Amino acid sequence: MRPFAYVRADSADRAIAASTPGARFLAGGTTLLDLMKLDVMRPERVVDINGLSDRYGQIEANDEGVFLGALVRMAEAAQHPRILADYPVIAQSLRFAASPQLRNMATLGGNVLQRTRCSYFRNSGVGSCNKREPGSGCAAIDGVNRKHAVLGVSPHCIATYAGDLAQALIALSAVVAISGPDGDRRIAFDQLHRLPGDRPELETTLAPAELITGFWVPAGAWTRRSLYLKVRDREAYEFALSSAAVALDVADGAVREARIGLGGVATIPWRARAAEEALKGQPMTAANADAAAGTAFAEAQTRFDNAYKPELGRRTLVRALLAAAALEV
Amino acid sequence: MAEVAVNRRGFLSASAAAAAGGVLGGSATAEPEMAPASAPGQLPVALDVNGRRHQLVVDSRRTLLDLLREDLGLTGAKKGCDHGQCGACTVLVNGRRVLSCLTLAVAVTGEVSTIEGLAAVDGELHPMQAAFVAEDAFQCGYCTPGQILSAIACVSERHANSTAEIREYMSGNICRCAAYPHIVTAIARAKAQMEA
């Protein structure tokens, strides 16, 4: 690990002021320390924001929605009674992620910003990576790409977005609260991550020194009838090959509103709006679920090893939709 | 990396650290991009480990795992993958299980508990340690300290109510010898005693 200056901040303003060029915020550290040891991330300064937990480590729920502080630990949100009861898709996306130790450490803000697990990104000694070394090329496109993305890909990057919580937040139209040198702002969750395009190294729309302080999740008729289905190589402690965050408002036998986030298959947290539209007003039959899921993967682009993903993703979504429709809420 | 507390182990580790510091200082010239030893990377840290306070000066890069093992001589927590994947380095911080290999020592606030602090002063084992012995819940033993700390937290979190739940909530601790069936049995056995 390369040397760095360590700074402890006790307020958002001080953290932002301390975030000079080349600095990184430290919360749970589970991504940052890992990638610093791999020499993939090389911060000159680490700004420890754990001292802000009193202010930004709270969960506040009311009838309008729930605010999740950015420094809430994954394990805390996963077992919060209001989230378990009213936003099960959030609790499940967290519980099915990582290990208990990692969930005790990792924060929600850091979780949505976690970096890809692409081996060529993580292994600085093998192959080229446009995220790691901009302009160097993408070894994954013609390399070992079984776990790589089929949606939102570009000729410069097919790295999969690895997180789970983000799929729940994007499906529920969460809002991201951000503090920065120019004050506070709020953006829709689907405006946080950037498609790789020709600049895969730019992963978010956050400006330098900007800090996520929390997420507002509005309550809706669909939030209780929600779930997260994660398909992976083993049953625990593994990243998704494909996943679906689904929230439904069903009345009189028909879908009034469907919210769908897809994971494991895309380069960024993926909102499947075409599939949502296809379900509107329809009864949730297997045929309708199948047709809607098909639209979600209509534009999938596969490589050699990941050609199975559109079909796996489609079936994952069908199963999630039918299971959500059958929930007793 | 010099421990201030005066005791034999501290004296030995302080001497070893001083020697290591000399070696590191020499390597700085071999890697020009490395900051000199006087860079603002040396920081004071006060840590409570197993009920004892330690005051040290450490490099900002020092992980809690390396501090425990190399500065304090507490080698129970093991370095397996050093990337947060295997769980061999699991310790408790304020009663919560965390991965000491992904924790910066300077960032730790609170009480650290390691395998060395579990047994009573008279040597009586913690119920989880005793259960691991009774159920033969290991072969090579390398992952065992992490398994035991994680298992204690698994019970205190109330995630040890069934075999399936124990397996799920112990999934962050890998056992290369695959002693998993006995580990699950040991946890169920200790749970009954811990909750009695």
Which ipTM value was assigned to this complex?
Answer: 0.96
- List, in order of start, the domains of chain A with CATH numbers: 5-49 (3.30.43.10), 226-324 (3.30.390.50)
Taking an 8 Å cut-off on Cβ atoms, the answer to whether A34 and B83 are in contact is: yes
Q: Do A43 and A208 meet the contact criterion of CB atoms below 8 Å apart?
A: no
Closest CA to A240 of A148, A103, A173: A148
Å from A99 to nearest chain B CA?
A: 5
pLDDT of amino acid A125: 82
For B49-88, write each residue's pLDDT tens digit. Answer: 999 999 999 999 999 999 999 999 999 999 999 999 999 9
For B89-112, write each residue's pLDDT tens digit. Answer: 999 999 999 999 999 999 999 999
Residue A49 backbone phi and psi in degrees, to 5: -105, 10
pLDDT of amino acid A202: 97
The predicted model scores a pTM of 0.92
For B135-147, write each residue's pLDDT tens digit. Answer: 999 999 999 999 9
pLDDT of amino acid A257: 97
Please give the angle made by the CA atoms of B156, A106 and B194, to the nearest 5 degrees. 5
Nearest CA in chain A to B35: A3
Residue B14 backbone phi and psi in degrees, to 5: -65, -40
- In the predicted structure, residue B24 carries a pLDDT above the cut 60: no
Selected residue with higher pLDDT from A113 and B39: A113
Out of A5, A101, A236, closest to residue B98 by CB = A101
Give me A61's structure tokens. Answer: 């729920």
Q: Do B62 and A1 meet the contact criterion of CB atoms below 8 Å apart?
A: no
pLDDT of amino acid B40: 58
- In the predicted structure, residue B13 carries a pLDDT above the cut 60: no
Residue B158: pLDDT band (50, 70, 90) is very high
Q: Which residues pair with B91 in a beta bridge?
A: B98
For chain B, say whether A15 makes contact (Cβ under 8 Å): no
Out of B35, B97, B109, closest to residue A101 by CB = B97
**Complete DSSP assignment for A182-223:** TEEEEEEGGGTB---TT-TT--BSPPTT-EEEEEEEE--TTS
pLDDT of amino acid B8: 37
Taking the C-alpha atoms of residue B158 and residue B167, their distance in angstroms, rounded to an integer, is: 13
**Ramachandran area for residue A70 (φ above 0: left; ψ -120 to 50: alpha; else beta):** alpha
For chain B, say whether A237 makes contact (Cβ under 8 Å): yes
For B161-195, write each residue's pLDDT tens digit. Answer: 999 999 999 999 999 999 999 999 999 999 999 99
- List, in order of start, the domains of chain B with CATH numbers: 8-117 (3.10.20.30), 127-195 (1.10.150.120)
- Considering chain B, what percentage of its residues have pLDDT values greater than 90? 79
Å from B122 to nearest chain A CA?
A: 30
Residue by residue, pLDDT tens for chain A (329 residues) are 999 999 999 999 999 999 999 999 999 999 999 999 999 999 999 999 999 999 999 999 999 999 999 999 999 999 999 999 999 999 999 999 999 999 999 999 999 999 999 999 999 888 899 999 999 999 999 999 999 999 999 999 999 999 999 999 999 999 999 999 999 999 999 999 999 999 999 999 999 999 999 999 999 999 999 999 999 999 999 999 999 999 999 999 999 999 999 999 999 999 999 999 999 999 999 999 999 999 999 999 999 999 999 999 999 999 999 999 999 98
Out of B84, B107, B170, closest to residue A48 by CB = B107
Out of A3, A30, A48, closest to residue B39 by CB = A3
Q: Do B57 and B2 meet the contact criterion of CB atoms below 8 Å apart?
A: yes
A contacts of B170 (beta carbons < 8 Å): 100
